[in-house]
Structure 1
Amino acid sequence: MSYAFPMGGHPSQDQDPDGRAIFTEAYALLPAETMRDIVTSFLPGWVQTRAWILARPLTGFAETFAQYALEIAPGGGSHTPEPELEAQGALFVAHGAVRLTLGRDTYDLEAGHFVYLPPAAVWSLWNVSDASAGVHWIRKRYNRIADMLPPEAFVAHERDVTASNMPDCDGKWSTQRFFDPLDMRHDFHVNIVNFLPGGRIPFAETHVMEHGLYVLQGTARYLLNTDWVEVGAGDFMWLRAFCPQACIATGEEPFRYLLYKDVNRHVGLTL
Structure 2
Amino acid sequence: MNKNPYYAPTGGHPPQTQLLTDRAVFTEAYAIVPRGVLQDIVTSKLPFWEKTRLWVLSRPLTGFSETFSQYIVEVAPGGGSDRPELDSGAEGVLFVVSGELTLTVKGRTHVMEAGGYAFLPPECRWEVKNAGNENVTFHWIRKAYEFVDGIEVPEPFVTNEREVEPIAMPDTDGAWVTTRFVDMEDLRHDMHVNIVTFQPGGVIPFAETHVMEHGLYVLEGKAVYRLNQDWVEVEAGDYMWLRAFCPQACYAGGPGPFRYLLYKDVNRHMKLRLS
TM-score past 0.5 threshold: yes
CA distance in 2, matches of 1:136, 1:177: 17
- Asked if 1:243 is matched to 2:216, the reply is no
* 1:270 equivalent among 252, 263, 273: 273
- Asked if 1:135 is matched to 2:150, the reply is no
Equivalent AA in structure 2 for residue 9 of structure 1: G
Taking only the aligned residue pairs, the percentage that are identical comes to 59
* Contact 1:172 1:196 survives alignment (8 Å): yes
Secondary structure of the corresponding residue to residue 13 of structure 1: coil
Corresponding position of 2:237: 234
Corresponding position of 1:211: 214
CA distance in 2, matches of 1:14, 1:110: 37
Corresponding position of 2:118: 115
Corresponding position of 2:263: 260
Secondary structure of the corresponding residue to residue 36 of structure 2: helix
Shift of 1:148: 1.6
Corresponding position of 1:71: 74
Give the ranges of 4+ consecutive aligned residues of structure 1 lying more than 4 Å apart after TM superposition.
none
Structure 1: state its 5+ residue gaps: none
* Contact 2:84 2:127 survives alignment (8 Å): yes
TM-score by length of 1: 0.99
Shift of 1:7: 2.8
Equivalent AA in structure 2 for residue 168 of structure 1: D
TM-score by length of 2: 0.97
CA distance in 2, matches of 1:257, 1:9: 24
- Asked if 1:105 is matched to 2:120, the reply is no
Deviations 1:224-252 (A, max 9, x none): 11100000000000000000000000020
* 2:164 equivalent among 161, 167, 171: 161
Corresponding position of 2:97: 94
- Asked if 1:55 is matched to 2:55, the reply is no
* Contact 2:199 2:254 survives alignment (8 Å): no
* Contact 1:7 1:33 survives alignment (8 Å): no
CA distance in 1, matches of 2:168, 2:142: 28
CA distance in 2, matches of 1:193, 1:38: 30
In the TM superposition, 1:188-207 aligns within 5 A as 188-207=191-210
- Let me know the Cα RMSD of the aligned residues: 0.7
Structure 2: state its 5+ residue gaps: none
Equivalent AA in structure 1 for residue 18 of structure 2: Q
Number of corresponding residues: 271
